[in-house]
Amino acid sequence: MTTGAPAPAALPDDRRRLTGDRPPGEAAGRDTSRRMLDTAAVSNPMSELRFLDRVDDQTVHEVHRVVSAVVELGGAVGWLSPPSRADIQRWLGEWQTATATGRAGFALCRVDGQVEALGGWRAGPPGPMGHVVDLTKIMVHPRARGLGLGRTVMDALIGRAGGCGAELLTLGVRGNNHGAQALYEACGFTVWGVLPNGVAVGDHRFDVIRMYRQLRLPADAVIHGSSDGGIGGSALRLASAVPTAR
């Protein structure tokens, strides 16, 4: 069961066939033409987006389907191998608990009644970083890519986080995931840093790209940036001024 204001979901018959589950026994990665969706001649379907408030068997099943398909293709979403349904149930339970605090939310985007995309937002703990929200676990089922669902999820997460008072949004993306980077840039995010070799997949290493979007600033905010002075500041000590051990 999920909450939120849904929009009616509809897909033409040929689109329903293309976005269905992989037939039993079809190995991931063997036939790119079958697992990647060609949407060039088909208009975007209408989708329904709700935010998670309960974890039921159907939601676990549908989220497990999406996560497993993304992980099978090597997606950088936190698992090196497809998780079990029990793993997903525990994971969604953690999101449900976080959502109850009012400082997190988990979006589920359905097409023709089935979850095809998802993503979450989490605010930092109350305190100096409490106004910063991280967007995370944003993914679309491989057979539903090209339908604009990633943007639908992003817009929902940005809107919900902003409505809860977020000032600054952040997210991370694997360095070679250029499609996702382009989506985030289109949503107003800018690269602020790179962690070289931050993702390990066996012997392979990939950068982590960190991005941000400033949503708002209080009217009375005093911006210090990285300038000298201010609360918690310290003076730069030159090497020549540091006493040496004798």
Kindly compute the dihedral angle of the four CA atoms of residues 3, 158, 113, 137, in this order, to the nearest 10 degrees. Answer: -110
Query: How crowded is residue 169: how many other Cβ atoms within 10 Å of its Cβ?
Result: 24
Considering only residues 40 and 51, tell me which one the structure prediction assigns the higher pLDDT. Answer: 51
Query: How crowded is residue 11: how many other Cβ atoms within 10 Å of its Cβ?
Result: 20
Task: Label residue 26 by pLDDT band (50, 70, 90).
Answer: very low
> Is residue 38 a contact partner of residue 50, using CB atoms and an 8 Å limit?
no
Task: Label residue 238 by pLDDT band (50, 70, 90).
Answer: confident
* pLDDT recorded at residue 227: 85
Candidate from 10-14, 117-121, 143-147, 185-189 with smallest mean pLDDT: 10-14
- Altogether, the residues listed in the chain come to a count of 246
* pLDDT recorded at residue 228: 81
* pLDDT recorded at residue 246: 63
In this structure, what token pair is assigned to residue 156? 């929902």
Residue 17 has pLDDT above 60, yes or no: no
Residue 224, φ and ψ in degrees, nearest 5? -100, -25
Q: What is the pLDDT of residues 183-232, one digit of tens each?
A: 999 999 999 999 999 999 999 999 999 999 999 999 999 999 988 877 88
* pLDDT recorded at residue 237: 80
Q: Residue 3: enclosing H or E segment and its boundaries? A: strand 2-3
72 to each of 83, 131, 191, how far by Cα in Å? Answer: 10, 35, 27
Residue 108 has pLDDT above 70, yes or no: yes
Strand partners, 116: none
